[in-house]
Amino acid sequence: MKILVADDDLISRTLMQRTLQKLGYEVVLAENGRIAAEMLTQTDGPRLAILDWMMPELDGPGLCRELRRLQQEDRYIYIVLLTSKQSTEDVVAGLEAGADDYITKPCQPGELAARLHAGRRILSLEENLVQAREEMRYRATHDSLTAIWNRASILSLVRSELDRSVRDNKPTSILLCDIDHFKQVNDNHGHLVGDIVLKEVAKRLTSTVRSYDAVGRYGGEEFLALLSNCDEPNLKARCEHIRAAVADTPIMAGIEELSVSVSIGAVTCQRWYRRLPIEHVLARADAALYKAKADGRNRTVIAEMLPAA
């Protein structure tokens, strides 16, 4: 594990470096508090730090305060103050400045190893908590089967994007994509094959949009795609690209090869001067999707552009 040692005394730095290297640490050195602050606040900076109390430019307690002020979310730095001060008042001052622990000079290797091991346990616990939180956040925002945005999340993204389109006066297009004859897939091949089809269609839809667009599972076999800064002249080509990505290549489900297509209802919102309800926008896309189904499926119908207010 990487650890930073900040000490203005060259001999002290070197001795501490050798001790830590024997304990298995990758050691990074800083000769004053300001350099240490720059190194510790880097994205890939050390998560463990031993700071001498007395340093030029920025002393140990001052560096603790600065690090806690600049601390990045999900990236805690465990700080040990190295000091010759032993009074209770000094210890309290160091801990209140943001240090997690302290060790007095001259320090014994065994005590140093034990205190750093305690710090590593705390950092490990934090990493586990962050990972658990991110997993919970992912499960709350993504569809468990297809691993794309779930209904609530994609609708939230649509609302935000429509607000942005009003603010920036730029077009936004919304697509409702429905798998054609999906009930027949489940009835003829079983729900496990149906799940394979849903996952593959979601994968193909996601692969055809730009990184700043979004695709979510709207419900059942229906997907919603949000295309930012996409006007009506470009929408037809975008929809055709998405439709073809699904229909042109059969989906393999075990030994079965299935021809699958989608029908698309699309609408573009632009030249807005006031915000229209999301329900109004989705209703127009849904009506276009219904027409695409009625006209024979495996096609796109684009609703008339929403007019300016």
- Cα separation, 309 vs 307, whole angstroms: 6
Cα–Cα nearest to 5, from 80, 69, 62, 77: 80
- Cα separation, 146 vs 182, whole angstroms: 16
DSSP secondary structure of the chain: -EEEEE-S-HHHHHHHHHHHHHTTPEEEEESSHHHHHHHHTSTT--SEEEEESS-SSS-HHHHHHHHHHHPPTT---EEEEEES--SHHHHHHHHHHT-SEEEESSPPHHHHHHHHHHHHHHHHHHHHHHHHHHHHHHHHHB-TTT-SB-HHHHHHHHHHHHHHHHHHT--EEEEEEEETTHHHHHHHH-HHHHHHHHHHHHHHHHHHS-TTSEEEEEETTEEEEEEET--HHHHHHHHHHHHHHHHSSPEEETTEEE---EEEEEEEE-S-SSPPPHHHHHHHHHHHHHHHHHTTSSSEEEPPPBPP-
Range 202-241 burial, b when 16+ CB lie within 10 A, else e = bbbbbebbeeebbbbbbeebbbbbbbbbbbbeebeebbee
Candidates 221, 222, 257, 304; catalytic one: 221
**31 annotated active-site:** no
Residues carrying an active site annotation: 221
